[in-house]
Structure 1
């Protein structure tokens, strides 16, 4: 029997990617709608088509274009979503106007199976622009395709999720600064359960359209989530520091990043729902999301330690170059160079040449060539240490340890070379 072909938009995002992987594992074929098909990897069972909710064309032309993309598909999944607006990506455009053209095209092709990934809170009590835009699309979909299924996930936990990365980073801190003491209620779910549920729904489509919450089995506070992450990773319990909500609201008025009035309003409302209808529809039992995959907290800690290590080592090299070239007595520096075996005629060249060398090594740590910089640093520090140890041995006994301090510097530089030397993060990675 020929496998069903499923059209998926938003398949390069956190939720969409997990859904795509699960559908492929379950034997479905996919037509993934992406902005640039040429940049996508060739995968068995996957066909790419070019498309974007952000394209500004007439309604008629837009709907016609979506009909062409949907032709031959048995089901449609919309997993597009943003949590913050930007100049080029608005809630109205990406959550409502773009999906509306998709829904109309699906209706004209008589596609009954359409899954809309909405959001918990996009209901009659919605107040934020994010939730209102999701609700607006959900209501339009119910009118256009009564058989559609609308899923409203709570906080989704899993590898690659921005919320997961933020929570993991917070969980690494021994002191947890949380708005309102972290008392707001959440009901996190695992990304694997959401993806498995979507795949199950395609196979066992309900007799009529439904809107259901998708949530995990536990209603917990943010503080409990973070403490659970720490406990399951083998960390000791952290101390909580409650940030007064009045302070948070003051910051949110000026916020354009993760702390703004919208996100604060959603946090205060809470994010809980009834998981049982989704379990009945899919035949799944939702699992706890209070433990992160092994190594997630350590990777989160490294994401902070790596730049701190990089910038501190860069400071050492840049500051050394500045002090030696402009602030320290040149005669003293040149006397050490002479003791190290540098000929008199080359003292000035060696002095200021080494300053330039140190400056370049420090600046390279801010570029994609930092692995090369770390390598040269290891060689330079080892060379300086050995030469001075043999030619100026009295510095080994100096009370301030100008040479012995090179040992931890060598170790830290080696750590940087091992864990911060990958320059791939400085390049724009293709969508998956």
Structure 2
């Protein structure tokens, strides 16, 4: 098997004669053996309990698991919301504040993924079967200097996992875009279509490093397959940071309209004007906390993502092309 696999990698298969036929047969056996090994390893993952399976990241993960032939168990609060995804599978109903129901929903799982908010990590850790590895979804919001309930909850969830003896990881994605129904770049594009000028604090010089949903899903799949000796935290983000103003322009180009001019403006007037946007029909709501975070750099080292998970994220232009397909 090793020889045949080596010949495949080296391109040493010579078809059209008996020797080539022998190589091809050996190569087929090698591939079958490698696939058998992979399937045996994957069998130890199954079933994968997916908490929050009806959400954007959860449903994307379930589609990927189904495509790879891995069995999964959706754990959701609403059977109707799960049915709306169009995915097969009988859901287990459990509210994360209902410890007995959550414990029953997770019983017998080979791996557990939670796409729910990381603040629920203590409840999940308490309900999960002993020793079953856990993959949690956090957020790079945990690094923001602008404290809010979301970021505080992520920090608390990370602390709970790292203080436990549970093998697993909490993945901290940067801004996620490209998911079905996501409201990050889609909402931004809807706003920019209506604006002749884009007022940005500091002229949009702060850095952002968004990640496409497909890379988030690949990272979760890799985390499921990795053997975690101790609990860890790993940031997952796009390949490189860009200025927010350049990100804005890239979104406009991908959505098919010219970007508005960027106007540097102090943060205070924007904060004062934000509530007024709610009075204008057709404009999405912009929260004050979102404006504040536009003033801080969100740039991250993706080396751990690449080395621990083996995921090389796609570039922004490619990701936006997938998000705004040609019409």
TM-score, length-scaled by structure 2: 0.74
1:34 counterpart (38, 60, 76)? 76
User: Quick check: 2:131–2:166 contact (8 Å CA) kept in 1?
Assistant: no
* Cα displacement (A) at 1:174: 6.7
Which residue of 2 is the match for residue 130 of structure 1? 150
**Ranges in structure 2 where 5+ consecutive residues have no aligned partner:** 1-39, 279-283
* Cα displacement (A) at 1:173: 5.0
Whole-Å separation in 1 of the counterparts to 2:100 and 2:307 = 37
Which residue of 2 is the match for residue 114 of structure 1? 134
Cα deviation 1:222-250 (Å, max 9, x = unaligned): 21112123334554453223343111232
Which residue of 1 is the match for residue 62 of structure 2? 20
Whole-Å separation in 2 of the counterparts to 1:31 and 1:65 = 14
* Cα displacement (A) at 1:120: 0.4
Which residue of 1 is the match for residue 95 of structure 2? 52
Give aligned pairs, total: 275
**Ranges in structure 1 where 5+ consecutive residues have no aligned partner:** 56-61, 82-94, 300-432
Cα deviation 1:368-396 (Å, max 9, x = unaligned): xxxxxxxxxxxxxxxxxxxxxxxxxxxxx
Which residue of 1 is the match for residue 15 of structure 2? none
Residues 176 and 24 (structure 1), Cα distance of their counterparts in 2 relative to 1, 3 Å cut: farther
2:168 counterpart (148, 154, 158)? 148
Asked if 1:165 is matched to 2:192, the reply is no
Whole-Å separation in 1 of the counterparts to 2:277 and 2:197 = 21
Which residue of 2 is the match for residue 284 of structure 1? 311
* Cα displacement (A) at 1:51: 1.5
Aligned CA RMSD, in angstroms, stands at: 2.9
SS in 2 for 1:262: helix
Whole-Å separation in 2 of the counterparts to 1:179 and 1:185 = 13
Q: Which has the higher helix share?
A: 1
* Cα displacement (A) at 1:284: 1.7
Which residue of 2 is the match for residue 175 of structure 1? 196
Which residue of 2 is the match for residue 65 of structure 1? 101
Residues 40 and 232 (structure 1), Cα distance of their counterparts in 2 relative to 1, 3 Å cut: closer
Whole-Å separation in 2 of the counterparts to 1:260 and 1:174 = 17
Q: Which of structures 1 and 2 has the bigger CA Rg?
A: 1
Residues 247 and 232 (structure 1), Cα distance of their counterparts in 2 relative to 1, 3 Å cut: same
* Cα displacement (A) at 1:12: 1.6
Whole-Å separation in 2 of the counterparts to 1:184 and 1:274 = 16
SS in 2 for 1:271: coil
User: Quick check: 2:109–2:132 contact (8 Å CA) kept in 1?
Assistant: no
User: Quick check: 1:34–1:49 contact (8 Å CA) kept in 2?
Assistant: yes
SS in 1 for 2:171: strand
Residues 123 and 226 (structure 1), Cα distance of their counterparts in 2 relative to 1, 3 Å cut: closer
Whole-Å separation in 2 of the counterparts to 1:200 and 1:254 = 44
TM-score, length-scaled by structure 1: 0.57
Which residue of 2 is the match for residue 325 of structure 1? none
User: Quick check: 2:144–2:293 contact (8 Å CA) kept in 1?
Assistant: no
Whole-Å separation in 2 of the counterparts to 1:227 and 1:168 = 10
User: Quick check: 2:51–2:116 contact (8 Å CA) kept in 1?
Assistant: yes
User: Quick check: 2:208–2:243 contact (8 Å CA) kept in 1?
Assistant: yes
SS in 1 for 2:317: coil
